[in-house]
Structure 1
Amino acid sequence: MNAKNSALPAALLAATVALAGCGASQAAPAAPSGASPMDHSGHSMPLGTPSSSSSQGAFNAADAMFAQMMIPHHEQAVEMSGIVLAKPGLDARVARVAERIKAAQAPEIATQRGWLAAWNQPTRMAADAGHGMEGMVSDEDLAALKGADAGEGAKLFLTQMIAHHEGAVTMAKSELSTGAHPGAVAMAQSIVDSQTTEIDQMKSLLGQL
């Protein structure tokens, strides 16, 4: 069933009953059977069940998985950008690319963590979840980037980040197809748009180095 058409969550129903009670006189009748103001069942809703958290909007399993995968993916992009920016004599054009990536992805990490906290979902997926993060750079390739000088590091950074961005676009398109949370879907569209543009820019720049 579509998340947008699901019944009101128990937490919202409890809040509605509580608000109605605030406007009633002291002689107001008891709440209907089954409607307890201490009912917190909405906070234990299993992953994948549509939920609502104030202005956060409904979310589903795809939204949670998107955030859980994108957090470490973005963290690695920020790390890679920091590594190449620390190299003396780095090409200014490559430096601008790295700075843009850090500026865009660091705030998105904070937003994704906020969503997961509001949804009562873990920040990381279980180790046996069976879902891979597209485009992640291996430890060996990351070590090569760290050990390279500015010239070689610039080329490695662009090559690795192109593949990294392509993986992010793939994951974001999956969220667009299956996600329900308005903010997560909007972020996925932004990732597709911005990182597709950056892929083209990095490919062009790589050819000039």
Structure 2
Amino acid sequence: MTRTTARLAGALVAGTLVLAGCSGDDRPRSSMDGSMMGGSERAPSTGQPEDGATFNDVDVTFARDMVPHHRQAIGMARLAEGRAADPRVLDLADRIEAAQEPEIGILTGLLAEWGAGGGGGHMGGGMGHPGDDPGGMMSPEDMHGLMAASGAEFDRLFLEQMIDHHSGAVRMAETVLSDGRNTELSGLAETIRDAQTAEIAEMEQLLTELG
């Protein structure tokens, strides 16, 4: 069993317990859940690692940026309950939350292992190009619009916004796969890229069917 598989198995168990504890009617669905799993408070890594290190700055940037990216996706997914009209949209939202919750645990674990900290706030620029690519993150206006929508309007907005969000994650994953060094993170990045590419295709098909 690889380290990533072992981490994901453990994180899935933890994620299942969290989801089970949040499955009642009092579950918060109207926030981006920014308080989940704050990052380590150790000093951030700077510069390239020494020769022989198992990670580099690209790995650290990806992990730090993907944590708030996943948290926003979970916040978006939680808005679906009580707002979505099509059960397929609600099912997709549930699957997104179930997949990304344990991945946050892996990312924050790696950051702590590296002494890199971070991952607790909002994303900055894109991977290596500050300000050029926000990674598909939704603006506050986007989130407010999604929160205010319901029924068929919510379904359309959710799918359109999540396609953009997923597309950003795929770009981020491809960058770390190209330029990163850590093998465990690369395995997770491949999972993110492949799963979210498949979900983009699913959402595009749903949008076509919903008109």
* TM-score (ref. length: structure 2): 0.70
Q: CA deviation at 1:86?
A: 3.4
More displaced stretch, 62-71 vs 124-133:
124-133
Match of 2:56 in 1: 60
Identical pairs, percent: 39
User: Where in structure 1 are there 5+ consecutive unaligned residues?
Assistant: 1-42
Structure 2 distance, partners of 1:187, 1:196, is: 14
Among 77, 80, 84, the residue aligned to 2:76: 80
Displacement of 1:45: 7.4
SS of alignment partner, residue 145 of structure 2: helix
Residue 189 of structure 2: SS of its match in structure 1?
A: helix
Q: What root-mean-square deviation, in Å, do the aligned CA atoms of Structure 1 and Structure 2 show?
A: 2.5
1:142 equivalenced with 2:143 (yes/no): yes
Q: Secondary structure at the match of 2:79?
A: helix
Q: Read off the aligned partner of 2:79 and give its amino acid letter.
A: I
CA distance in 1, matches of 2:67, 2:50: 22
Q: Distance in 1 between matches of 2:141 and 2:44?
A: 41
After superposition, where does 1:151-166 map in structure 2 within 5 Å? 151-166=152-167
TM-aligned CA deviation for residue 47 of structure 1: 4.5
CA contact (8 A) 2:159 2:207 kept: yes
Shift of 1:48: 2.5
Q: Partners of 1:69 and 1:45 in 2: how far apart? A: 14
**Residue 109 of structure 1 corresponds to which residue in structure 2?**
104
The amino acid across from 1:76 in the alignment is Q
Counterpart residue number, 1:48: 48
- Per the alignment, in what secondary structure is the counterpart of residue 98 of structure 1? helix
Q: CA deviation at 1:205?
A: 0.4
**How many Å apart are 1:208 and its aligned residue?**
1.2
Q: Kindly provide the amino acid, as one letter, of the partner of residue 118 in structure 1.
A: E
Pair 1:69-2:69 in alignment = no
Distance 1:165 1:45 in 2: 27
Q: Is the 8 A contact 1:166 1:199 kept in 2?
A: yes
Quote the Cα distance in structure 2 between the aligned partners of 1:44 and 1:68.
10
Residue aligning to 2:182: 181
Which residue of structure 2 aligns with residue 200 of structure 1? 201
* Aligned-partner residue type, residue 75 of structure 2: E
Distance in 2 of aligned mates of 1:186 and 1:138: 29
Q: Which amino acid aligns with 2:49?
A: T
Is the CA contact 1:134–1:168 (under 8 Å) kept in the aligned structure 2?
yes
User: How far did residue 85 of structure 1 move?
Assistant: 2.2
Larger radius of gyration: 1
C-alpha distance after superposition, 1:66-112 (max 9, x if no partner):
0011011100000000012232x631100111011001111111110
Residue equivalent to 1:36:
none
Q: Distance in 2 between matches of 1:157 and 1:127?
A: 23
Q: Where does the alignment leave 5 or more consecutive residues of structure 2 unmatched?
A: 1-42
